[in-house]
Structure 1
Amino acid sequence: MSVTSAATTGPAGPAPTSDEASAAPGPPGRRAYGWGPLLLRLHFYAGVLVAPFLVVAALTGLAYTITPQLDAMVYGTELRAESDGRSARPVSEQVAAAVAAHPEGTLATVTPGEQGKTTEVVFDMPDLGEKQHTVYVDPYTGQVKGQLTTWFGSTPLQTWLDDLHRNLHLGAVGRHYSELAASWLWIIALGGLALWWRRQRGSRGRARRLLLPDLAARKGVRRTRGWHASTGVWLLVGLLILSATGLTWSRYAGAHFGSALDTLDARRPVLSTALTGAPGPDSGSGHHGGPTGGTSVDPATVDEVLRVARAEGLDGPVEVGPPADASSAWAVTQVDDVWPVRKDAVAVDPAAGTVVSRNDYADWPVLAKLSSLGVQAHMGVLFGPANQILLAVLALGLLCVIFWGYRMWWQRRPTRGDRRAVVGAPPVARGAWWRLPAWAIVVGLPVVFLLGWAMPLFGVTLLGFLVVDLVVAAARRRRRPDTPIPTSPAPAGS
C-alpha cells in the first residue's frame, strides 16, 4: 500500500512496466495519456512520505484495541463485582455511599452496575476540566470499591492510550498526525487497488490474481509486490471504514463533517429535559455520548427515575443524569454500544412519575446512526471481542503492507557499480499530471480543490508533494544541463 514497484530488478536495472512505458516522456510537446502513471507516482509519494504516520496510527491503534482486557487486569477491583447469589441493593443506597465517600463535587451521572460490573457514580470537579471523578460501588453490598479520574467514562489507562492514538500526548498539534494519516489512507488504498487492477487486466484468472499473491514468481520485487497488493485488497473495506470514521472526529476535516451534519439536520436528536416543554440541556453531548447533569439532588430520587424508565422499555445498561436545575427533568439514556445497539432516551419527572419527552434510536437520522456506529466500530466496541480481533488484524495487516512497500523501494534500487543507490527512484517520470487528457484536468482540478477544502491536511500535503517533485526535477536539471530528454523510462535510481 505504501509503494508500488516498477518491475523485477535485473543486472541492468528494472525493466519498465506497461504503466511506466505509457508514462515515458516522448518528443518535445505535450502528449496525453491515462490516469495510470499519475496514480502510480502519487501512490509512490504518498506511500513513502505518509506511511510513517500510518505506522504510528496502526501501532497505537493496536495498543488501544486491548484496553478492555488491560482495564480488567489493572482496575479489576474497581470495575468488577460478584453477586454470589445476592440481589442488587437499591441504586439510591449505592449513590448515597458514593456521595459519602466523595462529598466534594457535583453528581453528574449514575450507571447502575449489572452483569458483574460495579455501579459507576460520576462527579464533576471544577478543577478537572473535561475529566471527572468516578466512584465505583459494589451493587450487591453497597460498599465503595474505589475511585478513579475518568474522561467520559474511560479509565486513566484507556484515556492515556486514547490520547496516544489521537494526538501522541501533544495536544492540538499532535492531532495533525492522525488526521494526516486518515486523510491519505483511503486515497492510498483505493489508488493501490486501481493500480493492481490495471496490472491484472487481460490476464487469465484475474480474480485469483487480485486476491492471492503469485507464489510462482521468483524472489524479488515481483513476489513482494504480490504480497503487498493482494493483502491490501483483503484489507481494503476495513481500511476505508477506519479512514472515514477517523476523519469524522479529526480537527479540521471533522469540523467540516460536523458542519455538514448541521446543514443536513442530521445530528442525533437532543432530548428535551425541560419540564415546561422548552428545549432543555443536550443529554447526548460528549466524546463518547451520554447525558450531562449537574445539581444537588436527593439520591433517593434515582430509584423512582429508574422505575419509570424501565417501565418505558429502557432495558439493559443505562446512564442516569440528574436535572440541570429545578425546572428540568432527569435524563435516562441507554448506553449499550454492542450490536444491536440500544440508545433510546427518556426525560423523567420523578415527582409526577411520568415521562415528559422521549428520543428513540429508531428515529435518529441515517447519518447520525452511521456516524455513531462507525465511532463504536473504530473504538473496537460495536461487535465486542470480534471487533477487537478485526481491528488487530487490520492494524497488523497494514503494518505488513507498509513493510512490503518499503521493501519494494529498496529492491528497486540500482545495483550496477556506476549507478548504486540506497533505494529506488520514483517509478514514473515527472510531469504525469500535465500529460493527462485536457478533459481530465478540467474535471479533476475542481475535485482536487474540493477534497483539499474538505480535508485541509490532504490538500496541503498534496501541494507539498508537487512542490518537492518540481524542486527535485529542477535541481537535477541544473546538475545535468546537457542531458537530453529521454524517450524511454529512465532506469531506477536516476
Structure 2
Amino acid sequence: MTTIPADPSRPRAGAGTADRRRSSAPLWLLARRVHFMAGLLVAPFLAVLALTGLAYAFTPQINDVLYGDELHVEAQTGNPRPLSDQVAAALAVHPDAHVTSVIPAEDPDRTTRVVLMGIDGLHQTGSHFSSESLTVYVDPYTGGVTGELVTVADRPPAQVWLRELHGNLHLGDFGRIYSEFVASWLPFIVLGGLVLWLGKRARGRSLRAVLVPSFTAKGRARNRSWHGVLGLWLAVGLLGISITGLTWSTYAGGRVDAAITAVNGKTPSLSPSEVAAVGSAEPIGFDRAVEVARSEGLQGELTLAPPHAAKEPFIVEESSEGLPIRKTAVAIDPYTEQVTARQGWEDYPLMAKLTSIGVDAHSGTLFGLANQLLLALLALGSLVLLGLGYRMWWQRRPTRSGRSSPPPVWRNLSVPMLVVVLLAAGALGWAMPVFGVTLVAFVLLDGTVNALRRRRARVSAV
C-alpha cells in the first residue's frame, strides 16, 4: 500500500476547531465572568423587580376588586344622562374645585371619571406622573356620585402604590437606582449566558439539548440544562423588559431622552393656537365637544380637557389602552366648534412610536390579558432561573473541597481585545452611568477577592 505524505499546507484534522476554540476562549471566559459575577450580585434585585412587576401588571384586576364600588355600576338599558349633568354632580360635591379632565364611561358598566383640582390636601409637584388629583366617579345613568379617590395620572391609590414599589421601593429618587442597576446589567447577564449556552452547541451538543432541558441528567448537570434552556427561551423577553425599563430610568433615561431629541424622535404634543371669543357667544359644553370629536373620527375612550380661560381651546384626545393604538388629539374652538389643531399616531416619529409601544408592552397594556400573562410567565420564569443559578453556584462554590475561583479574565485577553473591552466599557458607562459606577465596583471587588485568595493559597503552600 502506498503512503501519501501529508500536505503541510493543509490543516490537520480538528485543527480548525481547536483554533476556533482558542480564539473564542477569551470571549467565553469574559462572558462566564460577567454572567457569574454580575448575575450573583444582581439576582436579588432582579427577584424584587420580578415580584413587584408581576403585581403591577395585574393592577387593572386589582383596581376592579379594591375599587369596584367606585369604578362599576349596574349596566342599564336606558340612555346615560348628559355628560354636563354628570360633571355638575361631581362639582356639587366639591363646589370650590375646577375640572381638569373628564373621561366619559365607554363601557356600559363603568362610571364616568371627573378629575378635579383646587382641593386642599392634594400633593402637587408639577409632574404629570406624581401630582395628585381628586377623581369623582359618577353613575352615568342616575347622575349619582359613587365615590371619589385621590389619583395620580388617573391611577387609583393601589396602582400608584404598586408603581412606586416597582420603580423605587418607596424610597424616592434614591430608590430608583436599584431598578436602573438591574436594567443596566440585565442585557449583559443575558448575553453572557447566551454565549455560554450556545457555545455548548459549537462544542458538539445537539440542537435538542440546546432547546429542550434534560429530564435524565442528575445533579448540577440537570440544573445547568434547565437553567440554560430556560434562559434561552426567556432571553428576548428579558432584553425587552430591560431596554424599555431604561427609557424612563433616571440617568440612562436622561441619555436616551437626549439621543431621541437629537434625532427629532420625541413624542409630539398638541400645540393649539389661542382662540378668540365671538361676541357674547357661550363656549360649547362637554356633550357637544364629544360630538365634534366623534365627527372627526376619534374612537374609543376619550379624555376631555375643558378650557380654563377665554382664549383656550377645548382639548379632546383618545385615551384607550392597547391595540389598535389610538393617539389622536384635537383642539376645538369652543365658540365656533372648529378644529384648530389635530395630531394623530401617524404624526409620531418612529422612535416615539417604538418608545410608546415598548412602554405599553412593559406595563402589560399593549394587548390586554395576553400581555399580562406573558409578563407573568416572564416574571415567574425569571424567579426559577435565579433559583437554578444560585443552586448551581452552591454546588460549585469555591469554598467546597477541590474547588477554586476562576482566574482573572484580564490575563487571558490580548492587548487589542483588552483595549476594545475598555473602550466599550467606557462608552457603555457613559451611556448608563449606574452601570459604569457599578462596573468599576465589580472589577475592584473581583480583583480584591482574587488577590486575597491567591495570597491565602501561597500561605497555605508554605
TM class by smaller structure: 0.7 to 0.9
Is residue 363 of structure 2 the alignment partner of residue 368 of structure 1? no
Structure 1 residue 144 displacement after superposition? 0.9
Distance in 2, matches of 1:476 and 1:204, equals 34
Distance in 1, matches of 2:117 and 2:255, equals 30
Question: Which amino acid is 1:273 matched to?
Answer: P
Contact 2:200–2:210 (CA under 8 A) maintained in structure 1 = no
Distance in 1, matches of 2:83 and 2:177, equals 43
Q: Higher helix fraction: Structure 1 or Structure 2?
A: 2
Is residue 386 of structure 2 the alignment partner of residue 429 of structure 1? no
Cα distance per residue 1:313-355 (max 9 Å; x no partner): 0011011112253222111110112111111110011210110
Report the TM-score when normalising by structure 1: 0.82
Residue correspondence of structure 1 range 367-406 to structure 2 within 5 A: 367-406=351-390
Question: Which amino acid is 1:128 matched to?
Answer: H
Is residue 202 of structure 2 the alignment partner of residue 210 of structure 1? no
Distance in 2, matches of 1:58 and 1:369, equals 26
Contact 2:284–2:335 (CA under 8 A) maintained in structure 1 = no
Moved more, 441-450 or 41-50: 441-450
Distance in 1, matches of 2:76 and 2:314, equals 32
Q: In the alignment, what sits opposite 1:168? A: 169
3-state SS, counterpart of residue 134 of structure 1: strand
Contact 1:305–1:349 (CA under 8 A) maintained in structure 2 = no
Name the structure, 1 or 2, with higher relative contact order (CA <8 Å, separation 6+).
1
Cα distance per residue 1:82-135 (max 9 Å; x no partner): 332111211111111111112233311111112122111101246421011000
Residue correspondence of structure 1 range 8-407 to structure 2 within 5 A: 33-115=25-107, 116-125=109-118, 127-129=122-124, 130-203=131-204, 205-206=206-207, 208-217=208-217, 219-275=218-274, 301-407=285-391
Contact 2:270–2:343 (CA under 8 A) maintained in structure 1 = yes
Distance in 1, matches of 2:137 and 2:211, equals 49
Contact 1:33–1:436 (CA under 8 A) maintained in structure 2 = no
Contact 2:283–2:335 (CA under 8 A) maintained in structure 1 = no
Distance in 1, matches of 2:378 and 2:149, equals 32
Question: Which amino acid is 1:245 matched to?
Answer: T
Contact 1:185–1:240 (CA under 8 A) maintained in structure 2 = yes
Contact 2:57–2:375 (CA under 8 A) maintained in structure 1 = yes
Contact 2:34–2:188 (CA under 8 A) maintained in structure 1 = no
Q: In the alignment, what sits opposite 2:6? A: none
Distance in 2, matches of 1:240 and 1:137, equals 42
Distance in 2, matches of 1:479 and 1:213, equals 39
Moved more, 390-399 or 109-118: 109-118
Q: CA RMSD for the aligned pairs? A: 2.3
Structure 1 residue 167 displacement after superposition? 0.6
Q: In the alignment, what sits opposite 2:453? A: 476
Structure 1 residue 236 displacement after superposition? 1.0
> For 1:451, which of 411, 416, 428 is the aligned residue?
428
Cα distance per residue 1:237-268 (max 9 Å; x no partner): 11111101111111111111111111111111
Distance in 1, matches of 2:25 and 2:379, equals 36
Cα distance per residue 1:213-234 (max 9 Å; x no partner): 12232x1111101111100111
Cα distance per residue 1:178-207 (max 9 Å; x no partner): 11111111111111111101122142532x
3-state SS, counterpart of residue 128 of structure 1: coil
Identity of aligned residues (%): 47
Report the TM-score when normalising by structure 2: 0.88
Question: Which amino acid is 1:445 matched to?
Answer: L
Structure 1 residue 148 displacement after superposition? 0.1
Contact 1:96–1:299 (CA under 8 A) maintained in structure 2 = no
Distance in 1, matches of 2:37 and 2:452, equals 18
Change (3 A) 1:299 1:220: farther
Change (3 A) 1:225 1:366: same
Contact 1:32–1:436 (CA under 8 A) maintained in structure 2 = no
Aligned residues: 429
> For 1:411, which of 389, 395, 412 is the aligned residue?
395
3-state SS, counterpart of residue 466 of structure 1: helix
Change (3 A) 1:273 1:325: farther
3-state SS, counterpart of residue 425 of structure 2: helix
Change (3 A) 1:356 1:299: closer
Contact 2:302–2:318 (CA under 8 A) maintained in structure 1 = yes
Structure 1 residue 414 displacement after superposition? 6.5
Change (3 A) 1:167 1:370: same
Structure 1 residue 169 displacement after superposition? 0.7
Residue segments in structure 2 that go unaligned for 5+ positions in a row? 1-16, 125-130, 277-281
3-state SS, counterpart of residue 172 of structure 2: coil
Structure 1 residue 440 displacement after superposition? 1.9
Contact 1:113–1:120 (CA under 8 A) maintained in structure 2 = yes
Q: In the alignment, what sits opposite 1:488? A: none
Contact 1:32–1:437 (CA under 8 A) maintained in structure 2 = no
Contact 1:319–1:333 (CA under 8 A) maintained in structure 2 = yes
Q: In the alignment, what sits opposite 2:279? A: none
Distance in 2, matches of 1:317 and 1:414, equals 59
Distance in 2, matches of 1:406 and 1:450, equals 31
Distance in 1, matches of 2:199 and 2:423, equals 25
Distance in 2, matches of 1:414 and 1:441, equals 26
